[in-house]
Each structure stands twice: as structure tokens, then as C-alpha cells.
Amino acid sequence: MNNNTSLWDNWALEDLAYLFDQGIDYEDSNKLIIDRKKNSYYFESINSAVLQLECLFALINELILRENIFYDQKFSKGWQIDKNLKELDKHILIPIDIPTFNQEVYRARERAIDILCVTDKMKVHQKENENEYKISKKSPHSYFGQVVWGAAGNLGRSALLGSAYIPHPIRASLLNQAHFFNRPIDINSKITDWIKEERIKIFTNLTPAGKQDTLEIILPPLVSEVIEQCNNLKDLIPTTLNLREKYSKVREWISEYQESIISENPKKILNFQKTLNLVSKDINDRKNNGDLGSTSIGISFFSIDLPTKSLPSPGKYFGIRSAFSKLILNKRGNSALSKLMKWFDCSDQKIEDILKNHFKE
């Protein structure tokens, strides 16, 4: 099996189905916050629209850069009726049926629970959920269980598959707070993070004012590229699949990099790392040696003009280096996000402001 695969969260796919079928969700959701000082946890409100777009952007990125995306078909009824996702089913989205009580899944799930239940209160509520579920098939702390137990279950499945777990944003927040790291390292996610960091460096160092221009939105480059090429929402999945073909060599390169990690081949690993380092160095050199230009930065109802360095042209790069440099130098995504909001007929200025603020770097 190709190593550049992922296991997707059915919860995330359900949020996407809602987004495609009914549009923006204007209600609030709850994000679990670990409180280490009080040896406890609590829930904090987060706008559901933010979660929907996080899922959408992740799906676009995954459809282009993953060979396959797996999901557990036992828990997929909540989204399989959606026609947008249905056309991906069994082609890129691959259904699997992993027994809940598979021993490897069980061991990985239990290890995950130990790591994710950071505080005493979390440990107590997890144990109460487990005990009551054995009796009544119900959980007294149901939403806590959905976040924690659900994440642990998917981590168990991903361990059996050898695929990276791509969690729902609320579960992703939990994993980050608990410092849970997938093993082996998922190179696809690492590449995505590296591209994001390079883009932030590009756009936050354009002006003498330092990070003045972080008032602008920076979306994942593949998301911007897809949306810019679409005329309407119906074009989104077909355009994403077209770009999947365009980036097939990048996908293959990521797969080989992942294989070098799994096989612990230091020579190959160093060669892959060298490619990324050269891209970073070339872009940085050209940025530092570029001519000064001018960029208008929108701030509320007015704008100011600040001298900026011109963005480097990716023309000198070839092959993989060229592909990565073009991704890093892609548009920030401000117009793409506005375009997306129009497709969903988002007339609520408060929601639009929340979304724009969320995706600012």
C-alpha cells in the first residue's frame, strides 16, 4: 500500500456535507480546552463556520496531495448522501471496515486515551464514560466522549492502517494541546506546514514595518489556486481533481520521501531535505536581493502604501523545486475567501469578519 495515505474523520466529512448541502452553519460549537493549572478542562465556544472551512481547506489539500483517503464506513451515514462527496467515494475516498475490537486498534486506542486525558478530571470522565457505556451503551459525558474517545478510536484505526490521521478541527485542537504526535512522522503534513511557514515568512517580511501586513489573510496555496479557477461552488471538486493531476509528481515525491522515513534510509532522507532547504534558500536570497516596490495594505476602511520588496519570480526553478516555489509564492487568498463567501451567500458581516480574522497570520 502507498504510504502517502490518510484516515479521515467522519465528523469532518459530516461538517463538509452540511456545508455543501445547507451552507454556512451560523451556530457555535464547543472546543475542549485543557486546563493544566486547575487539573481540569472546560469548553470554549468557536464558530461552526470556522470549523467548516477548516475541513474544506483540508479536504482540498488532501485530495491533491494524498494518494488515497480512507474512512471507516461504519460511521459514514451522516455524510454519504452528499453528492459532492459521493463522487469521490471509492475513487479517492476509500471505505474501510476495521473491527472495533481488533487487538492492535485496541492497544493503540488505549495508549491514545492515556495521552489525551491529560488532567485528573479528564481521566475521571473518561472512566465514567467507559463504565456506563458497558451497561447502557450511553455516555454521561457524551460530548467529551465524542471529542476524546472518538479521537482515540480514530488514532487506533490509523495505527492499524499505517495512515496519517486527519482529525476534525476540534479533535485536532485536543491533539495539539496534549502534544500527541503521529509516529512515524507524516511527511505530507510536514510539507504542508513547511509551505505555510515559508509563505508567512514571505508575507510578513515584505515591509520595513515588520509584521504590519499580517492584517492580510494567508490561505493554503492549493486552496487559493482551486478557488481562483472556479466560477461557482459546483466547480470546486472537479477543479480540485484537475489540480490533482497537475500535482501528481509532487504527490509521488512526497510518497517517496515518506517511504525513506519508514525504511530509515538516511541518505535518501538527506536528499529530500536538501531539496526543501534549497527552495527555502533560493526564495530567501531572491527576496533579500529584490527591488523595492509598493504594496497597498487594507486596514479597516482605509489603506496605507508601504514600500515592499518585490516577490521573487519562480521561473528559475525546475521540477519539484519549481512546484514548491510556485506553491509558496501563490496568492495570499484574500480574494479567494471573499469569492467563497459569495458562493455560500454569506450575508452575515459578523460571520465574515470572524472567518477573515481566523485565517489571518
pLDDT, tens digit (0-9, with 9 covering 90-100), for 220-238: 999 999 999 999 999 999 9
- On the question of pLDDT at 296 being above 70, the answer is no
Residue of 205, 238, 217, 228 whose CA lies nearest to 309: 205
Contact yes or no for 7/154 (Cβ under 8 A): yes
Give the global pTM: 0.88
| Mean of pLDDT values over 71-87 | 85
Domain range annotation of the chain: 5-177, 187-358
**What string of H, E and C letters represents the secondary structure of 55-114?**
HHHHHHHHHHHCCEEEEEHHHCCCCCCCHHHHCCECCCEEEECCCCCCHHHHHHHHHHHH
The DSSP secondary-structure symbol of 215 reads: G
- When the pLDDT of each residue in the chain is averaged and rounded to a whole number, the result is 86
Q: What CA–CA distance (Å, rounded) separates 313 from 286?
A: 8
Q: What's the pLDDT score for residue 217? A: 80
| Mean of pLDDT values over 280-308 | 51
pLDDT, one tens digit per residue, over 89-128 is 677 899 999 888 899 999 999 999 999 999 999 999 999 9
Give the pLDDT band of residue 82 (cuts 50, 70, 90). confident
Q: What's the pLDDT score for residue 282? A: 86
| Mean of pLDDT values over 57-68 | 96
- On the question of pLDDT at 211 being above 80, the answer is no
Q: What's the pLDDT score for residue 77? A: 87
Q: What is the per-residue burial (b if ≥16 Cβ within 10 Å, else e) of 212-235?
A: bbeebbbbbbbbbbbbeebeebee
Q: Is 326 left (phi over 0), alpha (psi -120 to 50) or beta?
A: alpha
φ and ψ at 165, to 5 degrees?
Answer: -85, 125
- On the question of pLDDT at 150 being above 70, the answer is yes
Give the pLDDT band of residue 216 (cuts 50, 70, 90). low
